[in-house]
């Protein structure tokens, strides 16, 4: 009897797999092409989905299947767009349906209480959040942060000059970037990465990344009585901790406003407190919204500057041309400032090329479509996770000939290359911090070019400059060069330049007092 039951069981299971597979294949036949579904397991493409360096696999799929590819991961349809045309057709022109985010029960709903804007689904709550963020980060608002960005950049130049080892450069860069985004969020700067504000926010980041990469929870488990939902316990405890941190930061801003001190500088928090009612945000929602610049802007900005340094190491001729431009326009008796941008087209072109050459978010942040759609005859089910292979788009050889070469010249002259704003994503979800980020990149790049010769470190074993692999990037969601082994030598009449770096950093420290409550 037992063997008969076993055989019946196997037959039933096989039938189930076959029926399920046929159903999925029928649906897949109308969907964009993609790798074959596995026979066993969940009968999906789980095994094909890359865990690291996804842009490389996405590019292979583009070569094999074309500009729109679909894969099935568990029960989620994943769509990968490989061209600017497909991405703008869907994510921009059909933005009313492609501007949501995929449901994240653990990281988005339970841990964040639905309050972290970057993962919020499209709808009224996100629009209110985005209005606040827009008013704090818009092109107009971004001008308010230039004085602090400039002073932080002058301090950064001195920190770079004093750095005993190239490994310290990353810490200084990170300090620069987080000081900028904390100022955007709260009108406060930090002097060191040991600041309590930084340490607490970094702990939050660590937990956020951990929970983001943990296995998702089946929605059916949410029907259990709450006290039985074991997966809630830790994230809810952490949410409580985060809420205390964020509310503490917002309370600090409230106090400064109440005391009428000048140190309540323009920031997302100040804007939010002014118009909290209009955007229908309660105190906790506002406190979470103010954390968005930190969450989205710190490592992206510092990685973009790492890419700049890496590009300068690999392209000494570009650095030389930029130095020539700066010396001619600005001279050696002061550092470049924001007002110089219109007269420094080559440096500006370097910044554009940095963002194109190695986009720091290579596959963007996935969008999600709220209703089903048909694109060029291909069916895209509602709730698909839609990625844009930004890395591939930045290498389009028609728009950007010799795309692997770092060529600022492509942005100059009578026929410049088509703009590439896509490093900042697409459509209604496009990065609202792009103006602050490009300002940060320009001010740091121009000052470093003015101050230093940037050379490859000499390998003590061979006595020769370290050989760099231009494709050696590290990181998945946000990436940057794995290593930037550079030596910075103060330029020109180095005693005079040194003295100027010190004097400008000293002046910056005095200006910085205004930003330290």
β-pairing, 76-81 vs 385-388, is parallel
Residue 361 contacts ligand HEM per CB under 6 A: yes
E strands within 286-383?
367-368, 373-375, 378-380
The residue count for binding ligand HEM (CB under 6 A) is 30
Residue 485 contacts ligand HEM per CB under 6 A: no
Q: CA nearest 453: which of 486, 491, 485?
A: 491
List the interface residues with ligand HEM, window 133-162 (CB under 6 A): 133, 137
List the interface residues with ligand HEM, window 162-181 (CB under 6 A): 181
What is the DSSP secondary structure assignment for residue 20, as one 8-state letter?
Answer: H
- Please state, in angstroms and rounded to a whole number, the distance separating the CA atoms of residues 450 and 332: 8
Residue 264 contacts ligand HEM per CB under 6 A: no
Q: How far is the CB of 202 from ligand HEM (least distance, A)?
A: 17
Nearer Cβ to ligand HEM (169/290): 290
Q: How far is the CB of 477 from ligand HEM (least distance, A)?
A: 10
Q: Residue with CB nearest ligand HEM?
A: 433
- Please state, in angstroms and rounded to a whole number, the distance separating the CA atoms of residues 432 and 375: 27
Q: Per-residue DSSP letters for 126-195?
A: HHHHHHHHHHHHSHHHHGGGHHHHHHHHHHHHHHHHH-SSTHHHHHHHHHHHHHHHHHHHHS---SSTTS
Q: How far is the CB of 385 from ligand HEM (least distance, A)?
A: 12
Q: CA nearest 406: which of 468, 344, 452, 363?
A: 468
- Please state, in angstroms and rounded to a whole number, the distance separating the CA atoms of residues 356 and 364: 13
Nearer Cβ to ligand HEM (35/425): 425
Residue 360 contacts ligand HEM per CB under 6 A: yes
Q: How far is the CB of 181 from ligand HEM (least distance, A)?
A: 5
Nearer Cβ to ligand HEM (299/323): 299
List the interface residues with ligand HEM, window 291-310 (CB under 6 A): 292-293, 296-297, 300-301, 304
- Please state, in angstroms and rounded to a whole number, the distance separating the CA atoms of residues 267 and 133: 10
Residue 80 contacts ligand HEM per CB under 6 A: no
- Please state, in angstroms and rounded to a whole number, the distance separating the CA atoms of residues 483 and 180: 23
Query: Using the rule CB under 6 A, which residue among 432, 480, 481, 485 binds ligand HEM?
Result: 432
Q: How far is the CB of 81 from ligand HEM (least distance, A)?
A: 11
Cα distance from N-terminal residue to C-terminal residue, the chain: 80
**Window contacting ligand HEM (CB under 6 A); options: 150-158, 193-201, 323-331, 357-365:** 357-365
Residue 426 contacts ligand HEM per CB under 6 A: yes
Strand-pairing partners, residue 297, are: none
Nearer Cβ to ligand HEM (292/490): 292
Residue 130 contacts ligand HEM per CB under 6 A: yes
List the interface residues with ligand HEM, window 396-425 (CB under 6 A): 423-425
Q: How far is the CB of 424 from ligand HEM (least distance, A)?
A: 5
Binding residues: 431
Nearer Cβ to ligand HEM (57/301): 301
Binding residues for heme: 431
Nearer Cβ to ligand HEM (231/420): 420
Residue 101, C-beta contacts closer than 8 angstroms, at least 6 positions apart: 108, 118, 119, 120, 121, 122, 365, 366, 367, 368, 429
Residue 184 contacts ligand HEM per CB under 6 A: yes
Q: How far is the CB of 237 from ligand HEM (least distance, A)?
A: 26
- Please state, in angstroms and rounded to a whole number, the distance separating the CA atoms of residues 207 and 277: 31
Q: What is the C-alpha radius of gyration for the chain, rounded to an integer number of angstroms?
A: 25
Q: How far is the CB of 366 from ligand HEM (least distance, A)?
A: 8
Burial level of 113, CB count in 10 A (0-12/13-18/19+)? middle
Provide the binding-site residues for ligand HEM, judged by CB under 6 A: 117-118, 130, 133, 137, 181, 184, 292-293, 296-297, 300-301, 304, 360-361, 364-365, 367, 423-426, 429-433, 436-437
């Amino acid at each position: 009897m037992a063997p008969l039951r076993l055989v019946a069981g196997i037959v039933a299971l096989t039938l189930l797999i076959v029926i399920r597979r046929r159903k999925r294949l029928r649906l897949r036949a109308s969907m964009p092409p993609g790798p074959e579904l596995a026979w066993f397991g969940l009968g999906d493409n789980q095994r094909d989905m890359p865990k690291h360096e996804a842009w490389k696999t996405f590019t292979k799929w583009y070569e094999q299947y074309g500009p729109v590819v679909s894969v099935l991961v568990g029960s989620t349809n994943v769509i990968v767009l490989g061209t600017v045309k497909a991405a703008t057709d869907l994510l921009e022109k059909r933005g009313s349906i492609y501007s949501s985010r995929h449901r994240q029960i653990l990281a988005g709903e339970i841990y964040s209480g639905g309050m972290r804007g970057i993962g919020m689904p499209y709808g009224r709550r996100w629009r209110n959040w985005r209005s606040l963020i827009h008013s704090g980060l818009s092109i107009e608002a971004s001008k308010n942060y230039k004085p602090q960005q400039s002073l932080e950049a002058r301090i950064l130049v001195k920190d770079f000059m004093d750095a005993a080892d190239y490994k310290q450069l990353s810490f200084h860069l990170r300090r620069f970037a987080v000081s900028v985004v904390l100022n955007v969020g709260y009108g406060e700067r930090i002097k060191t990465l040991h600041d309590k504000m930084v340490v607490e926010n970094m702990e939050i980041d660590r937990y956020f990344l951990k929970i983001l990469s943990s296995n998702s929870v089946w929605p059916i488990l949410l029907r259990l009585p709450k006290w039985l939902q074991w997966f809630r316990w830790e994230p809810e405890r952490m949410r409580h901790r985060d809420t205390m941190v964020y509310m503490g930061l917002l309370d600090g801003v409230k106090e400064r406003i109440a005391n009428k001190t000048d140190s309540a500088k323009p920031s997302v928090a100040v804007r939010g407190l002014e118009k909290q009612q209009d955007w229908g945000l309660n105190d906790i929602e506002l406190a979470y919204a103010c954390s968005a610049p930190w969450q989205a802007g710190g490592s992206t900005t510092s990685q973009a500057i790492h890419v700049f340094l890496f590009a300068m190491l690999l392209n000494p001729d570009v650095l030389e041309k930029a130095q020539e431009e700066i010396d001619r326009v600005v001279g050696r008796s002061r550092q470049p400032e924001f007002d110089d941008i219109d007269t420094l087209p080559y440096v500006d072109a370097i910044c554009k090329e940095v963002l194109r050459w190695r986009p720091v978010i290579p596959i963007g942040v996935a969008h999600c479509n709220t209703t089903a759609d048909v694109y060029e005859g291909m069916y895209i089910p509602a709730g698909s996770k839609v990625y844009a292979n930004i890395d591939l788009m930045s290498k389009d050889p028609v728009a950007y000939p010799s795309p692997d070469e770092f060529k600022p010249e492509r942005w100059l002259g009578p026929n410049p290359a088509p703009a590439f704003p896509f490093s900042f994503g697409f459509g209604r979800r496009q990065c609202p911090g792009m103006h602050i980020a490009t300002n940060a990149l320009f001010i740091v790049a121009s000052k470093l070019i003015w101050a230093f010769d940037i050379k490859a470190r000499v390998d003590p074993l061979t006595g020769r400059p370290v050989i760099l692999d231009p494709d050696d990037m590290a990181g998945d969601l946000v990436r940057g060069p794995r290593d930037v082994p550079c030596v910075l030598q103060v330029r020109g009449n180095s005693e005079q330049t040194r003295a100027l770096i010190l004097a400008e950093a000293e002046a910056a420290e005095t200006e910085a007092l205004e930003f330290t409550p």
